[in-house]
Amino acid sequence: MNMRNQWPVLPIVAGLASGLLTGCGSQNGTSGGTGSSVVMGMSDDVLATDPASGYDPGSWLLFNNVFQSLLSFPKGATEPQPEAAKDCSFSDDQAMVYRCELKPGLKFSNGDGLTAEDVKFSFDRMLKINDPAGPAIMFPTLDKVETPDTKTVVFKLKVPDATFPSKIASGAGSIVDHRQYDANGLRTDDKAVGSGPYKLDSFDKDQAVFSVNSDYKGTVEAKNSGVTLKFFHGDRTALKKALEDGDIDLAYRGLTASDIAGLDRQDDSKGVDVVEGTSAEVQHLVFNMKDPVAGKLGVRKAMAYLVDRDALVKNVYQGTATPLYSIIPAGIAGHNTAFFDTYGARPSKDKAAAALRAAGITGKVRLTLWSTPSRYGPATDEELKAIAGQLNASGLFQADVKSVPFDQYEKDIAKGRYGVYVKGWVPDYPDADNFTAPFFGKDNVLGNHYGNNTITGTLIPHTAAQSDRAATDQDFGKLQNIVADELPVLPIWQAKQYAVARDGVYGLEYCLDASTVFRFWELSKS
């Protein structure tokens, strides 16, 4: 998969603010690590400590703090900036040759020097291992990596890819020590050697312990002396109790909408603060274009006219959500409101009925909405039942909901057994390309048999080749309008990240933004 369709950042949603913070601490700082250590809990797991394997939000949380990438996303920003690199740029007009020069004096946490050899090794290794649970799939355009000298790295691409800088700024661009990693296989000792702001001291099924890396040379300065990450393995009740009892300083990922809403109302008495941040996570209903029912455009249009996003936000997500009216979320350059413009915000039974009549459908539409209980948040089943209720209340549908475990869910989608199903999406990098090419490009990851020659033949290649990302807005607008007309998916909501901290914990607002980078170094505790 070209994106992480994992459990969401938090299973509650809200809109992105259009104005984002800029900057990321000291531009030439080193980690100070003078503050208190911080204990953090989350209900999902870190599935890998090796960057060639991990492709889930928990693993990338580790990667973004333990490893450096050539570029990184400063807090609140959607444009990557130099991190391990002194500077990077395309050295041709076609966005096919990308050159980076490393900063001097870079070291791994074990004292080994970091050179261009390590950068090349990291990318070559990831692509050679090509782990099914890893990020190699993000780099189909990468042809080869060259190192003219110890400080210079040259990426040669197969086709133009102006989003390449954003890809290498993500967890997928993590640089490993070539002396410490096998070129042909993954680490199995749960250890990590990186050059990022933190080093991994220990890792087991219950917790990961991080301390400040004194050898780090980069753009940020740690405001704490270390972080302990405790795993609650999906037990949201235990996570909430640990926070209220003071066993952890903050909770991130996994609290339910009702938990967040309840804690927000009671934060003064409980001694906790609910911190809101932006996110580019989205959720869609996906239509199998070959299904005998959902494959009919009239049925899909009727559903688009009937789904009441505002009611879902109010009743399922307790007012913590913002409806999504396009495939590119708000806050990402290129976003428009194609579905709002085409189908409106208020449900219309008359327009839905007209769409069905135009398709020659006169009786009630029998339909099953397929869900999976936890992968996209604990409210997913409830949400799908609410959507079925909205369809049925119109008198035009006879819809029900079935929920199956995720492993079976993915197998059935691949076999084309579902007509309508749900998908949640956490982006790899905050660019419109990451919400379009994986969905509607060749061999799209939705598995819904949708294709459009204008999208695949013109719009996606043209936007991929445009190094000025602001200049892609018109093409992305056309793409979103086509999707709204042809309806292979129906956008439902856009997430907002939440974390809950005990009094005296600061900096969380700098850890929750559209880049999906959770920055340990911004946390402090009095």
Write the DSSP assignment of 452-517 as a string of letters.
Answer: -HHIIIIIHHHHHT-SSGGGGHHHHHHHHHHHHHH-SEEEEEEB-EEEEEETTEE-GGGT-STT--
Q: Tokens representing 207?
A: 């917790």
- Report the range of poorest mean pLDDT among 28-42, 161-175, 413-427: 28-42
Residues 403, 466: one domain? yes
pLDDT at 348: 98
Q: How many angstroms separate the CA atoms of 381 and 383, rounded?
A: 5
- Shared domain check, 511 and 485: no
Mean pLDDT score, 91-101 = 89
State the pTM of this model: 0.84
> Is 126 within a domain?
yes
Whether residue 19 is contained in a domain is answered as no
Most distant CA pair in the chain: distance in Å? 73
Same domain, 49 and 166: yes
Q: Is 309 exposed, middle or buried (0-12, 13-18, 19+ CB in 10 A)?
A: buried
Average pLDDT over residues 333-352: 97
Of 27-36, 127-136, 244-253, minimum mean pLDDT range: 27-36
Split into its structural domains, the chain has a count of 2
What is the average pLDDT across 463-470? 89
Residue 78's pLDDT is 84
518 and 412 belong to one structural domain:
no
Residues 301 and 411 in one domain: yes
Confidence (pLDDT) at 504 = 94
Instruction: Say what the pLDDT of residue 236 is.
Output: 86
Contact 488, 285 (CB under 8 A): no
Q: Which pLDDT score is estimated for 24?
A: 29
pLDDT at 268: 58
Strands 250-252 and 38-42: parallel
CA distance 64 to 279: 17
For 80-91, how does the pLDDT look when each residue is reduced to its tens digit (9 = 90+)?
999 999 999 998
Q: Indicate if the pLDDT at residue 1 is higher than 70.
A: no
pLDDT tens for 276-287 read 888 888 999 999
Q: Are residues 176 and 78 in the same domain?
A: yes
Domain annotation covers residue 33? no
Between 6 and 174, where is the model more confident? 174
Contact residues for 50 (Cβ-Cβ < 8 A; gap 6+): 181, 186, 187, 192
**CATH number, domain containing residue 409:** 3.10.105.10
CB 17 within 8 A of CB 331: yes
Q: How many CA atoms lie within 13 A of 275 on its CB side?
A: 22
* The predicted structure's pLDDT at residue 269: 59
Q: Is the pLDDT of residue 17 over 70?
A: no
Say yes or no: 409 and 466 in one domain: yes
β-sheet bridge partners, residue 157: 142
Report if residue 297 sits inside a domain.
yes
Contact 216, 65 (CB under 8 A): no
The 10s digit of each residue's pLDDT in 479-489 is 999 999 999 99
> Can you tell me the distance from the alpha carbon of 148 to that of 115, in angstroms, rounded to the nearest whole number?
12
Binned at pLDDT 50, 70 and 90, residue 56 comes out as confident
Q: In sequence order, which residues have a C-beta less than 8 Å from that of residue 447 and are 6 or more positions away?
A: 286, 413, 414, 416
Between strands 397-403 and 365-371, the pairing is parallel
Residues 490, 507, single domain; the answer is no
Average pLDDT value for the chain: 90
Specify if 447 maps to a domain. Answer: yes
d(CA 157, CA 170) in angstroms, rounded, equals 18
Q: Name the β-bridge partners of 403.
A: 371
**Residue 427 and residue 337 in one domain:** yes
Indicate whether 490 and 386 sit together in one domain: yes
For the residues 239-268, what does the mean pLDDT come to? Answer: 84
For every residue of 214-235, which 3-state class applies, written as one string? Answer: CCCCCCCCCCCCEEEEEECCCC
Task: Report residue 511's pLDDT band, with 50, 70 and 90 as the boundaries.
Answer: very high
Q: Which residues pair with 479 in a beta bridge?
A: none
Q: Which of 259-268, 394-403, 433-442 has the highest mean pLDDT?
A: 394-403
- Give the structural domain span for 295: 279-496
CATH classification of the domain holding 128: 3.40.190.10
Predicted confidence at residue 16, as pLDDT, reads 24
* 209 & 284 share domain: no
Report how far residue 121's alpha carbon sits from residue 105's, in angstroms, rounded to the nearest whole number: 19
pLDDT above 90 covers what percent of the chain?
A: 75
pLDDT at 76: 85
> Does one domain contain both 119 and 218?
yes
* Residue 373 scores a pLDDT above 80: yes
- 370-397 mean pLDDT: 94
